[in-house]
Amino acid sequence: MKILGISGFEGSIPFKRAHWPSLDEREYRISQGHDSAAALVVDGMVVAAVAEERISRRKHTGDFPRGAIAYCLAEAGLGIQDVDELAHGFDYAPYRSVYLVDPVSRALYREVYSRDALLALVARDLPGCPAERVRHVGHHLAHAASAYYTSGWDECLVVVIDGMGEAQSVTVYHAHAGRLDRLAQIPAHDSIGVLYSLVTLHLGFDFNADEYKIMGLAPYGDPERFCRFFEDAVTLEPDGGIRIPLLRANRTREEREHYLATRAHLTEHLVPARRPDEEITDVHRDVAAALQACLDRTMLHLCGRFATETRQRRLALAGGVALNCTANGKLLCSGTFDDIYVQPAAGDDGSALGAALYRSAAAGEIRNERLGVPFLGPGYRPADIDAALAQYRDRVQVERFATLGEACAEAARLIAGGRVVAWYRGRMEFGPRALGHRSILADPGHPEMRDRINAMVKMREAFRPFAPAVSIEEVDRWFEVAPKTELPFMIMTVNVREEFRHRLPAITHVNGSARVQTVSAKDNREFHELLRAVGRTTSTPSSGPVSSSCSSRTSSSAVAASPRRPPLSPAREGRPTRSRLGRAPRPARGSPPAPRSTPPRRAR
């Protein structure tokens, strides 16, 4: 069977704008159905997947994923008439009665969440798709399927944790023999994900978008300063559940829609709300640190309790909270599990993948194999790249190499010389991380490199760390992990070995941690060859890829189009190419502070 999974609610933000036209722009993200995507599964195998934002260039868009669908179908040489099922990663039908309580809720269900609303979008953008082929998969069930059916395990514990599904914030499953048996659920009014997002908003960042920034800010703060506040806010129940009275305090329709009671409590009892243009001070850093510690504690409590109950030593995670690398690292270090797998597109884009996989499993076609590095998105032919480069012939100089080895050697030389290189190969990654096909690279031994790239390329907050990529053969030499530990998705933090922290200042965070990506020749041959070349040239294990959306819907040369961009090294099989701009000065070396913590076990 050919099953196309999709995610997102196009009408969610427009509905909120229509009914609450005077909100702060950031408040419109307190809504459901962002990060729309499409994924195609054919005969149980994942063929293609991409978030709509990578096509439309509208970050976190919830628009109906017409562009993502078009790519998936084109990649497989199919038309919409060839698709057996279109599966949406939400199913609000069982909760329809909940939305009958007031006129606004009824309209929200009818215009955004209902099957009729989805069918109207299908008819608009996919006129060849019959309504009887459109299916719905519960949101957390889709997340769970995305983790279990790509884990390669016959049996494991599956934990889905996010802001909310239709009505849940956490669902725990015992996965075995191709089945997902639900063990427990935590309702949305006790959502640790929503609490984390509300504090993110309170600190001046975007709800349902910037939570990773709080994770990056947290190591700069003192978690003890506001520890008592979050201990009182989140109660850990003996049965593994949690209660958050601070969220339950929202009782009226308006309070529940905007979490007004919760936000007022944060202002009165935590700190005043910070505006986005205000300075980040110690008090904001300390709140971030205490919030992250609360999430770490909650994840350990929740996963540990059900690990004990089921005696499972393997854990598969999905849902937006599963993108929190620090909490994942704490789980890894805890020793509770022998193996942890986090589905790399763990957010709502991944629910499109899960919806397709769940329906494929229901048809008896699933092949539960470990997902490799998810190069499932669009790629471009050499002719496309040549045409794009030709558009900028007056702004870039192009040099071609006969072999990949020559291109890697030249890129390594540039990196060793303090240059910043954009590395482009093959198909785009699915999920939020750049994993070697759309990566910005630099030598992690330069202490000024983080600030330099933040200012020159990413235009992002200076406190946010960069992530190292390292060949799997070298990972235990430089980081506190066991030999050959697999961390291919840049989704867990581990500690840099104390004796090497001064040598890797650009990727060593203030607490001595790093969000590592391991690279093997089996999963990513070209990137592995580049990293080995960098290691030989610089005597460091890796170059520092930025988790950025360098991918372009036209070609990689879009990165080179601006004079502010770094030298670009796109390399296609058989035709490695480099386009170059001006040379930047090599920064000096130095060393960051480096506290130590417990070494981790194994994860994938």
User: In the numeric block, which tokens belong to residue 345?
Assistant: 């597109």
Contacts of residue 223, Cβ cutoff 8 Å, sequence gap at least 6: 286, 289, 290, 292, 293
Contacts of residue 456, Cβ cutoff 8 Å, sequence gap at least 6: 420, 564, 565, 566, 584
C-alpha of 517 from chain center: 14
In which element (H, E) is residue 568 found? strand 568-572
Q: How far apart are CA 113 and CA 100, in angstroms?
A: 13
Tell me the H-state helices in 77-191.
Answer: 103-108, 115-125, 139-148
Question: Phi and psi dihedrals of 270, rounded to 5?
Answer: -115, -85
Known catalytic membership, residue 34: yes
Could you tell me which of 80, 59, 174 has the C-alpha nearest to residue 133? 80
User: In the numeric block, which tokens belong to residue 595?
Assistant: 């506290």
Do residues 118 and 86 touch, judged by C-beta distance below 8 A? no
Contacts of residue 455, Cβ cutoff 8 Å, sequence gap at least 6: none
Q: How far apart are CA 366 and CA 41, in angstroms?
A: 9
Q: How far apart are CA 470 and CA 484, in angstroms?
A: 11
Question: Phi and psi dihedrals of 508, rounded to 5?
Answer: -85, 115
Q: How far apart are CA 342 and CA 401, in angstroms?
A: 37
Place of tokens 């030249």: 410
Mark 497-524 as b/e (b = at least 16 C-beta within 10 Å): beeebbbbbbbbbbbbbbbbbbbbeebb
In which element (H, E) is residue 16 found? helix 12-19
Could you tell me which of 530, 504, 525 has the C-alpha nearest to residue 516? 504
Q: How far apart are CA 49 and CA 39, in angstroms?
A: 4
Q: Pick the catalytic residue: 34, 60, 143, 446?
A: 34
Cα distances from 423 to residues 74, 551, 568, 586, in angstroms, run 25, 10, 7, 20
Do residues 178 and 361 touch, judged by C-beta distance below 8 A? yes
- Cβ count near 583 (within 10 Å): 11
Q: Helix, strand, coil: what percent of the chain each, to 5?
A: 40, 15, 45
User: In the numeric block, which tokens belong to residue 337?
Assistant: 């599990």
Could you tell me which of 345, 212, 214 has the C-alpha nearest to residue 274? 214
- Cβ count near 496 (within 10 Å): 26
Do residues 34 and 348 touch, judged by C-beta distance below 8 A? yes
Give me the sign of the Cα torsion angle 551, 554, 557, 560: negative
- DSSP annotation of 210: -
Q: Which residues are catalytic?
A: 34
